[in-house]
Structure 1
Amino acid sequence: MVQWTVESLLQHLDDSNYSIEGQKSKLKSKSIKSVSSLYHGTSADVSFCQTDDVDRGILSITRSNAGMILCKKNMEGQVYPKQNKDQLLVFVHNPRLEFTRIAKKINRNHSSPKVGISSSSVIAGSAKIGRDCYIGDHVVIGEDCIIGDNSKIESKVNLQNCIIGNDCIIQPNTTIGSDGFAFERDSDTLELEKFPHYGKVIIENDVEIYANCSIARGSLSDTIIGQGTKIDALCHVAHNVSIGKNTELTAGTIIGGSTTIGNNCWLGLNSTIKNKLKIGNKVIVGSGSSVINDIDDEDIVAGVPAKSIKRKITANKEKLFLMAGQEEDVICSDN
């Protein structure tokens, strides 16, 4: 097992302009074993403080016993480590992001990655599974499905008509690649005729899909989930939808069929996107919104029906726009 010191962890910071408060002579000798919240941290833990409120941040940091705390740059010169605890404060631009990267490094060496295929899984003979994958209990993988390297398919997932890239994670009870909901009504008999589905679901690399999601196969084209996109629990993506790279769908989001969503978007809790819409890049959709019209790049919408509120946003600009990868200077502060 790798033994981490503060110095070795600092090498993994993406922010090269970090600064340190505390006994710098301890950088090589101080051991870090795990990660923790501020309030439960011990001298062998690394933690972080993300708040933009200086007074609140100072109070939280001074109460913590964590051995290494990642702090916001604006706290520098206003808060100091506990000398009796050999505490070190590291000031960075985005403590939560740096903490996430450090946590991955530490935890990767604390536990062995899950690799292997459960004996209770059902896998079609024509399916292809890459190297170092994990296929959990009672997983069903249909004919001609392809799963890339180092992907994790958790228990009771059902995969049909799909291609999944490398380094993907699909959590339990998710269904991918079943037929979408599409019918044509006969004007004479009023009976419903099911529209045929011949497409696939294409999931690119580094996609994470949380529990109990449903993603329908395309009808005459494919349903596509772009690289790095993350889909929270209880989401539904209908047939022929195309979602770009690094987009976040939070829990309960519903995407209607044949809708296109761009890169770096953030869709709030229980938001609904009507079918056949075009959502631009770096768009934020507020929680509970019902989107019935196309949305331009870098807009913010909310409400039922959803309307642009971008010009009304003035508070917490940086945090808000990081959700969708937007830069702070794109915000209009006009009321």
Structure 2
Amino acid sequence: MIATLSEIAKLVEGELLGSPDIKISGVSNIDEAKGGSPSGGGSLSVRGSSSGESSTQGKEQIVVVVNPKCLSQVIHASAVIIPEDADDSHLPAIRVKNPKLALALLLNLFYPQEKPTPSIHPSSIIAADAQLGRDVTIYPHVVVDKGAIIGDSVILYPFVYVGKAAQIGDETIIHSQTTIYADTIIGKKVIIHAGCAIGADGFGYVKVDETHHKIPQTGNVIIEDRIEIGANTTIDRATMGSTIIGNGTKIDNLVQIGHNVKIGKNCILVAQVAIGGSAIIEDGVIIAGKGAVSDHVTVGHHSIVGAKSGVMKDISPRSMVSGFPARPYRDELKQKACIEKLPGLFKEIKGIKERLKT
């Protein structure tokens, strides 16, 4: 794939600074563009050529610069994408409002994902009453159980299991070794990465005389549209009713979501987050890595929960909390600052006590 700088500027809706006829064939790694020196995190590192091979000379390559401070270090590139607040570039450039969005558009342009030819592998097992849409791709050893419904253009990679009466929406992709339990409903354009378990029993027991009796989990899981779920994430079915993940939410690897949880639209859950049963995560919430939300707690819309935080009570909308138990972010910083001063204060008090004795 080759595109001119003017074509790229139109694609990313940016301001072109330089010759419009420069040809670009790929997006270069920032380390390569700087001659192999460490990037320091100032740009975005991706494949160096349209073939996926490195290109240390930057021939016909464009570099996406996020941090304007790194712009002067870019040497081996034909052009750069720069943020609006960057100084004028020594290379042909396209000035954009959002460099990361420009990167996403460029990667789709130069490295489009190959779509498999629709087919059903003979080793797959598909129930007689299962319904398959148009142009589905079913890889080896996939199992589609009784009454399941598979939408149009769905891709099921090897060893995927789709349980009884489960529904998979159009253009959804489910990667290898994923289990979709019975009655689960998955929307359109969902991506589920390898090793996920969607719809396993929720963790529900009642204790009687030192014995834990299992509470049947009779509900299901509903995954709405345009959701991405990272590898080895687990989402439990509801005890009764549904565990629900809202439109556009993105879930990282190794996340645990308990039974009857309700997650709103366009949320972000980073790796190793754990959500207790019946918690409510409203729209636009971000929970950083290893954050935990206790059962029956509500996190208000557009709140941010810091890494390794433990949310033990309801959080009002647009809050920013951190720590364990989670508290307002500024309060947490003040507490940490006080804790750091404790050794000095202890030494000072000890000195005062010794002087009083004399």
State which of 68, 73, 84 in structure 1 corresponds to 2:79.
68
Contact conserved, 2:249 with 2:267, CA < 8 A, in 1? yes
Between the aligned partners of 1:310 and 1:129, the Cα distance in structure 2 is 49
Matched, 1:166 2:188: yes
Between the aligned partners of 2:331 and 2:59, the Cα distance in structure 1 is 45
Match of 2:32 in 1: 40
Q: Secondary structure at the match of 2:109?
A: helix
1:184 to 1:251, Cα distance in 2 relative to 1, 3 A: same
Between the aligned partners of 1:201 and 1:67, the Cα distance in structure 2 is 49
Structure 1 runs not aligned, ≥5 long: 82-87, 314-335
Between the aligned partners of 1:12 and 1:247, the Cα distance in structure 2 is 27
| Cα drift, residue 195 of structure 1 | 1.5
Between the aligned partners of 1:185 and 1:192, the Cα distance in structure 2 is 4
Match of 2:252 in 1: 232
Question: Which structure 2 residues correspond to residues 82-121 of structure 1 after superposition, within 5 A?
Answer: 88-108=92-112, 111-112=114-115, 116-121=137-142
Give the AA of the match of 2:172: S
1:118 to 1:304, Cα distance in 2 relative to 1, 3 A: same
State which of 48, 52, 57 in structure 1 corresponds to 2:70.
57
Match of 1:321 in 2: none
Between the aligned partners of 1:216 and 1:240, the Cα distance in structure 2 is 8
Match of 1:4 in 2: 3
Match of 2:134 in 1: none
Match of 1:325 in 2: none
Between the aligned partners of 2:332 and 2:213, the Cα distance in structure 1 is 46
Match of 1:146 in 2: 167
Match of 2:17 in 1: 21
Matched, 1:185 2:191: no
Give the AA of the match of 2:229: I
Deviation by residue 1:161-217 (Cα, 9 ceiling, x = unmatched): 31111111111111000110011112xx23222112121111111111111111001
Between the aligned partners of 1:267 and 1:34, the Cα distance in structure 2 is 34
| Cα drift, residue 312 of structure 1 | 8.6
1:5 to 1:271, Cα distance in 2 relative to 1, 3 A: same
Give the AA of the match of 2:230: Y
Contact conserved, 1:38 with 1:65, CA < 8 A, in 2? no
| Cα drift, residue 91 of structure 1 | 1.3
Between the aligned partners of 1:58 and 1:3, the Cα distance in structure 2 is 24
- Sequence identity of aligned pairs in percent? 28
1:114 to 1:99, Cα distance in 2 relative to 1, 3 A: farther
1:49 to 1:238, Cα distance in 2 relative to 1, 3 A: same
Q: How many residues align?
A: 290
Q: Secondary structure at the match of 1:11?
A: helix
Between the aligned partners of 1:91 and 1:12, the Cα distance in structure 2 is 12
Q: Larger relative contact order (C-alpha < 8 A, sep ≥ 6)?
A: 1
1:97 to 1:185, Cα distance in 2 relative to 1, 3 A: same
TM-score scaled by structure 2? 0.76
| Cα drift, residue 50 of structure 1 | 1.1
For the pair shown, which has the larger CA radius of gyration, 1 or 2?
A: 2
1:257 to 1:136, Cα distance in 2 relative to 1, 3 A: same
TM-score scaled by structure 1? 0.81
Match of 2:241 in 1: 221
Give the AA of the match of 1:144: A
Between the aligned partners of 2:251 and 2:283, the Cα distance in structure 1 is 14
Q: Secondary structure at the match of 1:99?
A: helix
Give the AA of the match of 2:158: D
Give the AA of the match of 1:169: I
| Cα drift, residue 137 of structure 1 | 0.8
Between the aligned partners of 2:60 and 2:166, the Cα distance in structure 1 is 45
| Cα drift, residue 310 of structure 1 | 5.4
| Cα drift, residue 113 of structure 1 | 5.0
Contact conserved, 1:76 with 1:91, CA < 8 A, in 2? no
Matched, 1:131 2:152: yes
Which 10-residue stretch deviates more, 281-290 or 94-103?
A: 94-103
| Cα drift, residue 264 of structure 1 | 1.5
